[in-house]
Amino acid sequence: MILTTDKMIFVTNQNDSSDNIENLITEYGTNQYRIKIDRTLHPPYFELFHEWIDGKRRRSVLLFASSKLDKIVYYINKNIQ
């Protein structure tokens, strides 16, 4: 899957996705972002994370979550600089 916002293009991370959970990743500036799509729920649930590497561990913080993808895109367009 490819998701385009005004500022970013997210693509599916094939190594970290399955039939039920899909992870879309992008880099913007020097930051990494991930959208997690949970299809085990109805309707699907979307979560936006900011990610970074701390030593050997991948860390993330939840920025926004919604059951509507357009709300995630709106949040990205208005709040990420």
**Distance from chain centroid for Cα 63:** 9
Q: Is the entire prediction scored with pTM above 0.75? A: yes
d(CA 29, CA 56): 22
User: Both ends of the chain: CA-CA distance in Å?
Assistant: 24
Q: Residue 63 pLDDT more than 90?
A: yes
pLDDT score for 81: 82
- For residue range 2-49, what is the model confidence (pLDDT) as tens digits? 999 999 999 999 999 999 999 999 999 889 999 999 999 889 999 999
Determine the average pLDDT of the residues in 51-58: 92
**pLDDT of 11:** 97
